[in-house]
Amino acid sequence: MTFHSLIENALTDTLGPTLAGFRPELALCATIVVLLLSRMLMPRWKEGPFWITAAGAVAALWLAAPWSQLSGGMKTAESIFTGMLLHDTFSVYLRCLLFFFLLLFVLFTRSSGIPRDTHATEFFVLILGAILGMCLMVSANHILIVFLGIEMASVPSYVLAGMLRHERRGAEAALKYAIYGAGTAGIMLYGISLLAGALGSVHLPTMAAAVVDMFAHDQASSRYLVLILGGLMLMIGLGFKLSAVPFHFWAPDVFEGATAEVAGFLSIASKAAALGLLVRLVVVFGYTPNADDMVHLEPIRQYMTLMIAAAAAVTCTFGNLAAYGQTNMKRLLAYSTIAHAGYLMMPVAALSALIGTDLTAARAAAGSMLFYVAVYMFMNLGAFAVVAYVRNRSGSEEIDALSGLIRTSTGLAVCLAVVLFSLVGLPPLAGFAAKFAAFASVYQAGLVLLLVVGLANTVLSLFYYLRVVKVMMLGEPSRYRPAVIIPLASSAGMVCLLCTVPLLVWGVWWNGLYTWADAAASLLCK
Amino acid sequence: MDLTTALPVLLATAWLLPLGSFALIVLFGPWMGRRGVGAGYLATGAIVVSFVLSLIALLGWLSHHPIADAGHHAAETVEHGHEAAASHAAPAEALKPVAGDWYALGRFGSLAITIGYYIDSLTLVMFTMVTLVASCIHFYSFGYMHEELGIVTDPLVRKANGRLLKRKGRFHRFYQYLSLFCFSMLGLVISGNVAMVFIFWELVGICSYLLIGFYIERKSASNAANKAFIVNRVGDFGMLIGLMVLWSTLGTFSFGGIFEQVRPADAGHELIVPDGMVHAAAADEIEQITLTAATPEEANQAIETATPGWRNAGYGQWLLIIAGLGIFCGCVGKSAQFPLHVWLPDAMEGPTPVSALIHAATMVAAGVYLVGRFYPVFTPEVLLVIAYVGCITLFMAATIAITATDIKRVLAYSTVSQLGYMMLSLGVGGWLAGLFHLITHAFFKSLLFLGSGSVIHACHTNEMPEMGGLRKKMPWTAYTMLTGCLAISGAGIPLLWGLSGFHSKDSILAQLFSFRIQNSVHGNILFWAAAGGAAITACYMFRLWYLTFAGKPRNEHVAQHAHESPAAMVAPLVILAVMAAIAGWKVPFTNVGVDTLIGQSRPVGTELGVGANTAVAVMPAERLSHEKPIHNTVSWIAFFTALAGFLVATVFYGVRRLDPDDVRKTFGPVYTFLCRKWYFDELYQLIFIRPVMVISRAVAAIDKHGLDWLADNSARFVKWISRLDEWIDRLLVDGLVNQIARQTHRLGLALRAVQTGNIRQYVMAIAFCTVTLFVVITLYWSYIMAAGS
């Protein structure tokens, strides 16, 4: 192969499938550039950052074109950037979810008044950067991209956690987050280097092939310690992003210290991306199209199933239990987020278990996770939005601040109640459908213990969510705080409705979303 | 007016008049005349008009269908070849019943429920008989129920304070029930389909129930009413099964429709298993054919071709038998046949006119009537069952009647016995004889009942040992009753002449004798049982008469108060006595009589008997029993058996040459057995009632000691539960929740201790957790690997 042909190949690859698949990310990059330029060129355009970001989100969404890609428009998965990224329905779905979230988030922050105008450009640039990193995470096909994506998503988050609060707690939270993140990143990088060294490659499918080869020739026994350690360390990096126990320590502190908006962003976007990455890793190391090789991957699948299931069970239980004693709404939601990370990992464990035996069921498991993520996005954003609006009026983020909300802002209180009930997973809300689908796949995978833990947790979670509802519905409005009067017919109310109505709709009619989620999972195992 | 249009109109009017009377009495009864006496006039008027209309209808029928004279009959009897049968079949063909529908109640799918009519000479004779007897009884009741016009003191009911019960009279209510009964009974007779029969069947049952329990305050009366009702339901259950089989296989309820299918004209009116039943039984084969055939037409063709083969192979035979047995089951209940006869003697708790009308003349005969109606459907097997049931009933009831001392009970058992005769007769092919006996029996038995009512009215007791020597005090009653006794015993001069019972019983015995010739085993059993029964009948009837009217008064007190009944009661007695005497006669110089009249309605195809080519039993043609050798033999046998019974009764009770007490002592066990009515009540008590009572008592006990106890203690229980609940709540639920809260709080504190906010510790935690996890996983993994290899 001559240099010329090398260039030729790279060029063809880049200009052909790569650019086509990478257009949404490029749009985000362009948005960042435009944002920075607008700050310089039109410093007086206060609203500029919102509009530009929103336009960028819409453009990215448009370029990702889920309506065509997820409705049979995409038949095969494509490796782009010469195998660095994987462009398939799965990445389309999650990226579109991220873009859509970005759009909602822009609307939300616009109406909640944070960031203030002076910081808007930086804020949105950081957000866009993080989203870009997350897009890399969900499309990663190369272990360096994995690391790169996680870091690209994390570094802006560190800044975001501290930038909007000019007080000690915000700075502290940001610092803790950064150091904690750095620690886990280091461990992950170590794990990556171990794996790369042991398997002789950094390209994920090649690594998987090497594992198969290793197991096929029975060379694994000499190196399985390395593999286990490498795998564990890689998982720790992901665990940090997922705030899985015991790598969750950062979450409550950061959520409490950061603004509700940033907390919402962290709790949703980075979770979605981390889960996407987790699924990618599970599929890459758990599945090859060759049936003979599948047998050799059985130990790997077992390992992953065990790890993920254990992490899910512990995370879920811990999150729910720890949420009990909380008085701060954001802290409570932080633990709720941790718990939901557990719920969300359950179908991934099921996927890992099923991928070797029943591809249809595995696809359903992945689909149920993707469905859950979408629902979760609305639920959590709604919860954090209400917290932000209440904070704006009352100046408090304690649960007490919600006391008697039903009398002052009926619509808002109802929205929050719907969101909380959906978080519990009560029918006829989308949270129920999501949980049901997830638990169904767990059951199908035969992970009975995990199912029991999940169900028990659902019951456990009822209490602390209901406590909030009780305070909201039965409590008296505080006399020492300004009354929270937010009508539904306001931008804030609209955002809340925007988060709540889909929960009601999907609770009854989940086919539409589930069809997309299923389509997104369809190309994983091909 | 054409007969086919006139008959339905006449009979419908006769039928509906009592209904109108009933409706009016229900609405205005208490205000009709002085204390409701007008209700009696209204009801009596209605039934008398009904009788007149029935009579007109009967005469109309006769004028259109004159009965051939005896010469033709005799000629036919002599040459009983096939030509004769053919010539006999021809006029039968002409005497088609007048059938049709008045009104369609409703149509449920293919099930049509209609109010229709099926009028032939049997219907007309029944109509005339029912309305005549009913008219007599309506008149009679004016006298008998006279007390009910005022305040009644019931001598048999004591209130809690020991005084006798006083209540308002219920004169109008009595006539109201009588009218309803007449309507129901006539409806039953005129019914054109089985569904309608069933409706009126139940209606007469309800009337019977209401009238047995007329003295509702008497415990025995209400018990008897319940018993009658419940026992009848057992029979009706079987009848329903029969109806379901008929309808589901034949698709129709109408008599005409059923008979056409069971005895189709193209099969020479021979009894065959109808296509519907064959197909129902051969459902599997039909399914096979339907599955394999190319087109539905082809399948139908194949099924049609295969049907005769299936029929010959016996398909559907059992359905026909079940249908027949089911229908007969209903008749067993209604006509008080063994083993459901137990209700009828108890039904005597009702007023005596009711016993006469319902429980002697009409309703209980409805079972026999229905068997006669359904005669074409019965297979030889079913007929044999009917014969045996009838035979057992007649013998058993007759023996019980010997020892009974309650005058009405004697008559009740006599009724059961006579109904057994009718069933037996029908069962052995004596269709005409059985139905003929039904009519004659209706007259003499209602006469006997009314006479006994007259006696009871005079003596205020039912016990015959308390009576005696009453013939001087109440001669009309005594001698009309003597007529009845003679009639039921079949008194007459052999071969020549006799009272009505003589004719009808002779023909039954003749048919039995004819049957005995063809079926030696069954025939001997049935014939001698029946003949013996005839002797016993004469015996107990004269025992009754002697005990009541002959000799010297045994109870002076009773005798002193006794008096002849008022004219309203005596007149019906006389009318019925005349009827009891002449009902079996022919109209002078013609061949017109009840028997020949009924004979016009003989079901087509049964002239030659039933079961001629089966192994079960041969029911010979009734014609054969009229042949001289048979008839003469039987006449003498009947005469001597009846005479024997009469002589025994006379020796014991008339001239008192022998003391019944000696016999009683000699045959102690037999006597007790008979006194105990063959222990039927005890048997049923033991095998049906006792278990039910035990179960119900057990349930009641559970209810009382379990559920009631629960209910009684529910407050305490709930309190206890709530305390327990509270305890559980406090200790377990609250405790658990609190504990969880406390633990989570503690955990939270612990976590807060972990969640120090100290970043150094956080980083340490990362390292620590990583190492720990690594160790744990490695250990676990090596364990897995070791286990795997």
Would you say A179 and B763 are in contact if contact means Cβ atoms under 8 Å apart? yes
- Read off the DSSP letter of residue A524: T
Share of chain B above pLDDT 90, in %: 10
Q: Give the total residue count for chain B.
A: 789
Q: Give the total residue count for chain A.
A: 526
Confidence check: pLDDT of B290 > 50: yes
Per-residue pLDDT tens digits for B656-714: 777 777 777 666 667 777 777 777 777 777 777 777 778 877 777 777 676 666 666 76
* Per-residue model confidence (pLDDT) at position B759: 75
Return d(Cα B552, Cα B468) in angstroms, integer: 6
User: Would you call B762 and A326 a contact, using CB atoms and an 8 Å cutoff?
Assistant: no
Per-residue confidence band for A342, with pLDDT thresholds at 50, 70 and 90: very high
Q: Determine the distance in angstroms separating the CA of A5 from the nearest CA of chain B, rounded to an integer.
A: 46
Share of chain A above pLDDT 70, in %: 99
For tokens 């908006």, the residue is: A261
Query: Which residue among A172, A232, A252 sits closest to B777, beta carbon to beta carbon?
Result: A232
User: Would you call A322 and B747 a contact, using CB atoms and an 8 Å cutoff?
Assistant: yes
Find chain B residues with C-beta within 8 A of A302's C-beta. 784
The domain ranges of chain A are: 297-526
Find chain B residues with C-beta within 8 A of A228's C-beta. 774, 777-778, 781
Is any Cβ of chain A less than 8 angstroms from the Cβ of B741?
yes
User: Would you call B778 and A228 a contact, using CB atoms and an 8 Å cutoff?
Assistant: yes
Per-residue pLDDT tens digits for B424-475: 998 888 888 899 999 999 999 999 999 998 888 888 888 888 887 788 888 8
Among B733, B747, B781, B782, most A C-beta atoms within 10 A, so best to mutate, is B781
Q: What is the mean pLDDT of residues A77-83?
A: 84
Identify the sign of the CA torsion B559, B564, B566, B571.
positive
The residue in chain A having the minimum alpha-carbon distance to the alpha carbon of residue B742 is A325
Q: Kind and range of the H or E element at A92?
A: helix A89-112
What pTM, to 2 d.p., does this model score? 0.56
Is any Cβ of chain A less than 8 angstroms from the Cβ of B740?
yes
Return d(Cα A205, Cα A209) in angstroms, integer: 6
Find chain A residues with C-beta within 8 A of B781's C-beta. 224, 228, 303
* Per-residue model confidence (pLDDT) at position B297: 84
Query: Which residue among A180, A232, A326 sits closest to B762, beta carbon to beta carbon?
Result: A180
Per-residue pLDDT tens digits for A173-191: 888 899 889 989 999 999 9
Phi-psi region of B115 (alpha: psi -120 to 50; beta: other; left: phi over 0): beta
Tokens of A380: 């959590």
Q: Determine the distance in angstroms separating the CA of A378 from the nearest CA of chain B, rounded to an integer.
A: 28
Is any Cβ of chain A less than 8 angstroms from the Cβ of B745?
yes
Q: Determine the distance in angstroms separating the CA of B743 from the nearest CA of chain A, rounded to an integer.
A: 9
Q: Determine the distance in angstroms separating the CA of A401 from the nearest CA of chain B, rounded to an integer.
A: 21
Is any Cβ of chain A less than 8 angstroms from the Cβ of B705?
no
Question: What are the residues whose beta carbons fall under 8 Å from the beta carbon of B41, sequence distance 6 or more?
Answer: B32, B33
Query: Which residue among A184, A252, A299 sits closest to B766, beta carbon to beta carbon?
Result: A184
User: Would you call B747 and A321 a contact, using CB atoms and an 8 Å cutoff?
Assistant: yes
Is any Cβ of chain A less than 8 angstroms from the Cβ of B762?
yes
Find chain B residues with C-beta within 8 A of A180's C-beta. 759, 762-763, 766
Is any Cβ of chain A less than 8 angstroms from the Cβ of B763?
yes
Q: Determine the distance in angstroms separating the CA of B719 from the nearest CA of chain A, rounded to an integer.
A: 28
Query: Which residue among A176, A322, A463 sits closest to B751, beta carbon to beta carbon?
Result: A322
Per-residue pLDDT tens digits for B35-71: 778 888 889 999 999 999 999 998 888 888 877 765 4
Is any Cβ of chain A less than 8 angstroms from the Cβ of B759?
yes
Of B537, B552, B554, B535, the closest CA to residue B654 belongs to B552
For tokens 């409550």, the residue is: A252
Q: CB atoms < 10 A from the CB of B250, how many?
A: 22
- Read off the DSSP letter of residue A510: -
User: Would you call A249 and B784 a contact, using CB atoms and an 8 Å cutoff?
Assistant: no
**Counting one residue from A and one from B, how many pairs have CB atoms under 8 Å apart?**
75
Q: What is the mean pLDDT of residues B558-572?
A: 82
Per-residue pLDDT tens digits for B294-333: 788 888 888 888 888 888 888 888 888 899 999 999 999 9
* Per-residue model confidence (pLDDT) at position B741: 62
Per-residue confidence band for B258, with pLDDT thresholds at 50, 70 and 90: confident
Is any Cβ of chain A less than 8 angstroms from the Cβ of B722?
no
Return d(Cα B585, Cα A126) in angstroms, integer: 125
Query: Which residue among B765, B773, B778 sits closest to A249, beta carbon to beta carbon?
Result: B765
Residue B266 C-alpha from the chain's centroid: 35
Per-residue pLDDT tens digits for A221-236: 677 788 888 888 998 9
Half-sphere exposure of A146 (CA within 13 A, CB side): 29
Among A131-135, A235-239, B260-264, B584-588, top mean pLDDT goes to A131-135
Return d(Cα A523, Cα A280) in angstroms, integer: 11
* Per-residue model confidence (pLDDT) at position A439: 93
Among B733, B736, B739, B762, most A C-beta atoms within 10 A, so best to mutate, is B762
Confidence check: pLDDT of A59 > 90: yes
For tokens 């039943």, the residue is: B277
What amino acid occupies position B319? Answer: L
Among A303-312, B275-284, B546-555, B606-615, top mean pLDDT goes to A303-312
Find chain B residues with C-beta within 8 A of A250's C-beta. 762
Find chain B residues with C-beta within 8 A of A246's C-beta. 765, 769
B465 preceded by a cis bond (ω within 30 of 0): no
Angle between the A143-163 and A120-139 helix axes, to the nearest 10 degrees?
160
Confidence check: pLDDT of B2 > 80: no
C-alpha distance from residue A217 to each of A213, A296, B788 (Å): 6, 10, 16
Tokens of A497: 């409705």
Angle between the A271-286 and A329-354 helix axes, to the nearest 10 degrees?
20
User: Would you call A253 and B755 a contact, using CB atoms and an 8 Å cutoff?
Assistant: yes
The residue in chain B having the minimum alpha-carbon distance to the alpha carbon of residue A231 is B774
Share of chain A above pLDDT 90, in %: 43
Q: Determine the distance in angstroms separating the CA of A180 from the nearest CA of chain B, rounded to an integer.
A: 6
What is the DSSP annotation of B674-708?
A: HHTGGGHHHHHIIIIIHHHHHHHHHHHHIIIIIII
Q: Please, what is the Cα angle at A510 between A505 and A516, to 5 degrees?
A: 120
Query: Which residue among A229, A253, A325 sits closest to B757, beta carbon to beta carbon?
Result: A253
Find chain A residues with C-beta within 8 A of B754's C-beta. 249
Q: Kind and range of the H or E element at B113?
A: strand B111-119
* Per-residue model confidence (pLDDT) at position B753: 56
Per-residue pLDDT tens digits for A99-138: 999 999 999 998 888 777 778 888 999 999 999 999 999 9
Tokens of A354: 């099923």
* Per-residue model confidence (pLDDT) at position A173: 85
* Per-residue model confidence (pLDDT) at position B85: 42
Per-residue pLDDT tens digits for B738-754: 666 666 666 655 655 55
Per-residue confidence band for A338, with pLDDT thresholds at 50, 70 and 90: very high
Find chain A residues with C-beta within 8 A of B770's C-beta. 187, 232-233, 236
Would you say A55 and A62 are in contact if contact means Cβ atoms under 8 Å apart? no
Grouping H, G, I as helix, E, B as strand and the rest as coil, residue B248 is helix
User: Would you call A303 and B778 a contact, using CB atoms and an 8 Å cutoff?
Assistant: no
Return d(Cα A499, Cα A489) in angstroms, integer: 15
Residue B102 C-alpha from the chain's centroid: 26
Of A130, A184, A127, A135, the closest CA to residue A153 belongs to A130
* Per-residue model confidence (pLDDT) at position B712: 67
Per-residue pLDDT tens digits for B64-114: 887 776 544 444 444 444 444 444 444 444 477 888 888 887 777 777 788
Return d(Cα B722, Cα A224) in angstroms, integer: 60
Q: Determine the distance in angstroms separating the CA of A51 from the nearest CA of chain B, rounded to an integer.
A: 38
Q: Kind and range of the H or E element at B400?
A: helix B380-403
- Read off the DSSP letter of residue B68: P
Q: For A393-402, A432-441, B273-282, B612-621, which range has the lowest pLDDT when averaged over its residues?
A: B612-621
Query: Which residue among B766, B774, B784 sits closest to A229, beta carbon to beta carbon?
Result: B774
Among B109-118, B151-160, B199-208, B493-502, top mean pLDDT goes to B199-208
Would you say B275 and B251 are in contact if contact means Cβ atoms under 8 Å apart? no
Would you say A397 and A330 are in contact if contact means Cβ atoms under 8 Å apart? yes
* Per-residue model confidence (pLDDT) at position B78: 40
User: Would you call B784 and A302 a contact, using CB atoms and an 8 Å cutoff?
Assistant: yes
Confidence check: pLDDT of A440 > 90: yes
Return d(Cα B445, Cα B458) in angstroms, integer: 20
Query: Which residue among B740, B766, B781 sits closest to A228, beta carbon to beta carbon?
Result: B781
Confidence check: pLDDT of B204 > 50: yes
User: Would you call A179 and B751 a contact, using CB atoms and an 8 Å cutoff?
Assistant: no
Q: Determine the distance in angstroms separating the CA of B723 from the nearest CA of chain A, rounded to an integer.
A: 25
Q: Mean pLDDT, chain A, as a whole number?
A: 88
User: Would you call B748 and A236 a contact, using CB atoms and an 8 Å cutoff?
Assistant: no
Q: What is the mean pLDDT of residues A332-341?
A: 92
* Phi, psi for residue B588 in degrees, rounded to 5: -50, 140
Among B736, B742, B746, B755, most A C-beta atoms within 10 A, so best to mutate, is B755
Of A51, A62, A130, A61, the closest CA to residue A99 belongs to A61
User: Would you call A253 and B747 a contact, using CB atoms and an 8 Å cutoff?
Assistant: no
* Per-residue model confidence (pLDDT) at position A313: 93
